[in-house]
């Protein structure tokens, strides 16, 4: 069974990512795109909710897997493929809602920002960009996505401090839109998506592209653009 499953509740598609810590690998990225293809093909009304499993929404890049690859082409394609998924979600032609059921770190946190709305579990889990503590730079596309989707002071704080935000702190800083108890995370996300499912249309992709040209250009940028430490 795939680690990525797509279910449907009325006009709302629910993508469930269930792969342990939900770190991205080529097979899971392909499964995400296949699921997104299915949602797009459904036409309108339709909307998308994404969620994780257990205590993880997504811990982002699988660096252990990446460092174990012997094929240079495979290694080189990995991060651009993750950035490509972020760009696709950012401009997806339906309403998208991230139901953050647990930890969202690094690229997993960034992917949640690519959604239109975020609902986060109040009692457990952190939203965090840990690169400062890893002593690792961000790809310019990642930085641009963060700057595009949260207030600039919040973007600065979360990048330079690596703070682990619980749901209430994330709500206060406008990283998420709703902080609710565990049992309400998915129902609230589905309710938000269902109310706006009729907005699905190719025009939505064009409108989103018009909103985020700088972020999209940066997400498509070369790996050579990553700042040197």
Q: Is residue 28 domain-resident?
A: yes
Q: Is residue 67 domain-resident?
A: yes
CA distance 5 to 142: 26
Domain containing residue 181: CATH number: 3.90.226.10
SS3 content of the chain, % helix, strand, coil (to 5): 50, 20, 30
pTM of the model: 0.95
Q: List pLDDT tens digits, range 155-192.
A: 999 999 999 999 999 999 999 999 999 999 999 999 99
Q: Is residue 167 domain-resident?
A: yes
What range defines the domain where residue 83 resides?
4-222
What is the pLDDT averaged over residues 91-103? Answer: 98
Question: Residue 10, Cβ neighbours under 10 Å: how many?
Answer: 12
Q: Is residue 228 domain-resident?
A: no
Q: For the chain, what is the domain count? A: 1
Phi, psi of 99 (to 5 degrees): -95, 95
Q: List pLDDT tens digits, range 98-149.
A: 999 999 999 999 999 999 999 999 998 999 999 999 999 999 999 999 999 9
Q: Is residue 229 domain-resident?
A: no
Q: Is residue 153 domain-resident?
A: yes
Q: Is residue 227 domain-resident?
A: no
């Amino acid at each position: 069974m795939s680690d990525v499953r797509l279910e449907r509740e009325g006009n709302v598609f629910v993508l469930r990512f269930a792969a342990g810590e939900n770190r991205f690998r080529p097979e899971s990225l392909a499964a995400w795109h296949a699921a997104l293809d299915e949602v797009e093909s459904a036409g309108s009304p339709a909307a998308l909710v994404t969620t994780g499993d257990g205590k993880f929404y997504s811990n982002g890049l699988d660096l252990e897997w990446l460092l174990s690859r012997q094929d240079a082409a495979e290694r080189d394609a990995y991060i651009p493929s993750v950035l490509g998924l972020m760009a696709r979600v950012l401009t997806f032609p339906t309403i998208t809602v991230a139901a953050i059921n647990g930890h969202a770190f690094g690229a997993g946190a960034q992917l949640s920002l690519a959604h239109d709305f975020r609902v986060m579990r109040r009692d457990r889990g952190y939203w965090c960009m840990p690169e400062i503590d890893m002593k690792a730079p961000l790809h310019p596309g990642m930085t641009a996505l963060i700057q595009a989707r949260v207030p600039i002071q919040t973007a600065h704080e979360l990048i330079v401090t690596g703070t682990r935000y619980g749901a209430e702190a994330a709500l206060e800083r406008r990283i998420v839109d709703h902080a609710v108890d565990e049992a309400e995370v998915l129902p609230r996300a589905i309710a938000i998506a269902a109310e706006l499912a009729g907005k699905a249309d190719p025009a939505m992709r064009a409108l989103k592209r018009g909103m985020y040209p700088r972020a999209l250009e940066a997400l498509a940028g070369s790996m050579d653009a990553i700042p040197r430490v």
